[in-house]
Amino acid sequence: MKLPLDGIKIIDMTGVQAGPACTQLLAWLGAEVLKIERVGEGDITRRQLRDIEDVDALYFTQLNSNKKSLELNPRTPKGKEVLEKLVQEYDMLVENFGPGALDRMGFTWERLQELNPRLIFGSIKGFEENSRYNDLKVYENVAQCAGGSASVTGWWDGPPTVAGAALGDSNTGMHLAIGLIAAVRQRDITGKGQKVAVSMQAANINLNRVKLRDQLRLEKLGKLEEYPQESLGLEFDDAVPRGGNAGGGGQPGWILKCKGWETDPNAYIYFTIQGQNWKRTAEAIGKPEWAEDPEYATAQARLPKVFDIFKYIEDNVLADKTKDEAVDYLRKFDIPCAPVKSMKEIAYDEDLRESGTIVEVDHKARGKYLTVGCPIKFTAFTPEIKESPLLGEHTRETLALLGYSEEEIEEMIAEKVVGETIHLKLESTI
C-alpha cells in the first residue's frame, strides 16, 4: 500500500528525543529515514539507561523505529563528501545539534541550498535564532522552564514544576513534523526547498496559549476567578500563578481521591463540574436540591465553595468506589471525568493495544518490547511500527547506493570515516 510520504528521503541528523521523535513520525508515514550517527558511538540514547547489557536502550529503540542507520563522520573530508552526495539526492535534512554545530561541519543553510535547492531543511534548537539565549544547549526541562510551562505547573506554595510528559522534546518534534510536511506540499507548488525551524521554547509556548490568555485577563482584572487562589482567598501576583490540579477553562475540576488512595498512589479520578451539566452533576453527587438552590445554582455561587463541594464528593460519592467504579457511575450523568492512569495501566491497556497506540515491536537484539505507536489514526492506511536499526546497520548498503566500491567502503571503515559497529558495547550511561 502507498503511504503518504512514500518516496521522500530524509537525512536524519537528529539525536536524543526532540529530533528523533519528528523523523520517526515521518518514517511511520512512509518516508525513508537514514539516521547519521557518530562512528563507534551512535546516538547517545543507544546507551542511556540501558536495561540489557550491550543492547540498544529502550530510549533509542522507542524513538528510532522504522529508520536506517549510517555511521558517518562528516567532519572528515571523505565524510563530508558522503554527506554532500546524500544532500544532493535526498529530499530533507533534519537536525537538532547544539547551536552552530552543523555550520561548523561546513553545512550552513546557504551551502545546503547550493548543493540542492529542492532540499527541505528541518532544524530544532532550544531558542529561536534572534533570541538572546540562542547559544544555549537545551534539554526537555530547560525548555519547559523557558517556555513558561514550569511557572504555571505545580502548587502555589511550591516551586515551579516540570511536567512528566515531553512538552519540550517530543512536542517540538511534532511541531517540526507539521512544518516539514507543509514544506513538502509547498515544494510541490514552487519546486523549491526551504528551511523549517522550530525552537523548543516556541513549541512549548504554543501549548501555553490559554496561560497567555490568563495573563492578559489577570492584567485587566487583577484576578483569575476560576483559579484555586480565588476560592481560597489568596492574593494574586502580577503573573499567572500555579493552579495545582485546577482545570484550564471555565469548568472547575480537580483530582479527587477514590477508594484505596491511602495505599495506591493513583487511586484518583479527575472530576469536572461542567456548568451546563450542573443539574445532573448535583443529582450524581446526591444533592439534587443544589440544582436550583441559589447558593449553588450558578458557577459564580459555587466558586467560593468549590473545594467544599469537591470534599463532599470525595467523602460521600467516591470513598466507597474504586476509580473505575467511580467513572462507571459518573459517566451515567455525563460528567467529564477519567481515572488517573498509571504508566503500568497504560502499558497493559487492551484498548490501547488494539488501537495501536501501544504496540509490541520485535527487535533483533532485544526481542519484543513495548513502545508508543502512532497516535494519529487514518482510514486509508495504518502506520506499521518496525524495529530501530542497529548502529551502522545500513552503512554498506547506503555507500554502495551512492556509488562507492567495496574497496572504497573498506578503506573508509578502516579510516573511521564510516562504521558498522552493529552491537554497541560502550558502557551504559545515564
For residues 249 and 228, give the distance between their C-alpha atoms in angstroms, rounded to a whole number: 12
Residue 228's SS3 state is helix
Find the binder of ligand COA among 129, 137, 319, 400 (CB under 6 A): 137
Whether residue 138 is annotated as binding a ligand: the answer is: yes
Residues in Cβ contact with 114 at an 8 Å cutoff, skipping those fewer than 6 apart: none
Q: Torsion-angle region of residue 7: left (phi > 0), alpha (psi -120 to 50) or beta?
A: left
Structural element, H or E, at residue 355: helix 350-355
In whole angstroms, the minimum distance from the beta carbon of 425 to ligand COA comes to: 19
Total binding residues for ligand COA by CB under 6 A? 25
- Among the residues of 16-108, which ranges form H helices? 18-28, 58-61, 77-89, 101-104
Find the binder of ligand COA among 65, 69, 96, 201 (CB under 6 A): 96
Q: Which is nearer to ligand COA, 110 or 238 (CB)?
A: 110
Find the binder of ligand COA among 64, 65, 66, 73 (CB under 6 A): 73
For residues 38 and 65, give the distance between their C-alpha atoms in angstroms, rounded to a whole number: 18
Q: Are 302 and 309 in contact, with CB atoms under 8 Å apart? A: yes
For residues 70 and 64, give the distance between their C-alpha atoms in angstroms, rounded to a whole number: 13
For residues 86 and 171, give the distance between their C-alpha atoms in angstroms, rounded to a whole number: 28
Distance, first Cα to last Cα, the chain: 40
In whole angstroms, the minimum distance from the beta carbon of 22 to ligand COA comes to: 10
Q: Is 16 in the site for ligand COA (CB under 6 A)?
A: yes
Whether residue 137 is annotated as binding a ligand: the answer is: yes
Q: Is 332 in the site for ligand COA (CB under 6 A)?
A: no
Q: Which is nearer to ligand COA, 5 or 105 (CB)?
A: 105
Q: Which is nearer to ligand COA, 27 or 39 (CB)?
A: 39
Is 6 labeled as catalytic in the residue annotation?
no
- Among the residues of 69-199, which ranges form H helices? 77-89, 101-104, 109-115, 140-146, 169-190
Q: Is 101 in the site for ligand COA (CB under 6 A)?
A: yes
Which DSSP symbol is given to 368? E
Q: Is 327 in the site for ligand COA (CB under 6 A)?
A: no
Q: Is 399 in the site for ligand COA (CB under 6 A)?
A: no
Whether residue 251 is annotated as binding a ligand: the answer is: yes
For residues 87 and 11, give the distance between their C-alpha atoms in angstroms, rounded to a whole number: 8
Residues in Cβ contact with 186 at an 8 Å cutoff, skipping those fewer than 6 apart: 192, 194
Find the binder of ligand COA among 38, 195, 217, 305 (CB under 6 A): 38
Whether residue 341 is annotated as binding a ligand: the answer is: no
Stretch that binds ligand COA, among 84-92, 93-101, 153-161, 275-283 (CB under 6 A): 93-101
Q: Which of 54, 169, 188, 308 is catalytic?
A: 169
Q: Is 40 in the site for ligand COA (CB under 6 A)?
A: no
Stretch that binds ligand COA, among 4-12, 23-31, 70-78, 289-297 (CB under 6 A): 70-78
For residues 188 and 306, give the distance between their C-alpha atoms in angstroms, rounded to a whole number: 54
Find the binder of ligand COA among 124, 218, 240, 361 (CB under 6 A): 124
Q: Are 328 and 334 in contact, with CB atoms under 8 Å apart? A: no
Which segments are annotated as binding site for substrate? 249-251
Interface contacts to ligand COA, rule CB under 6 A: 16-19, 36-38, 72-75, 96-98, 101, 104-105, 124-126, 137-139, 169, 200
Which segments are annotated as binding site? 38, 96-98, 104, 137-140, 249-251
> Which residues form the catalytic set?
169
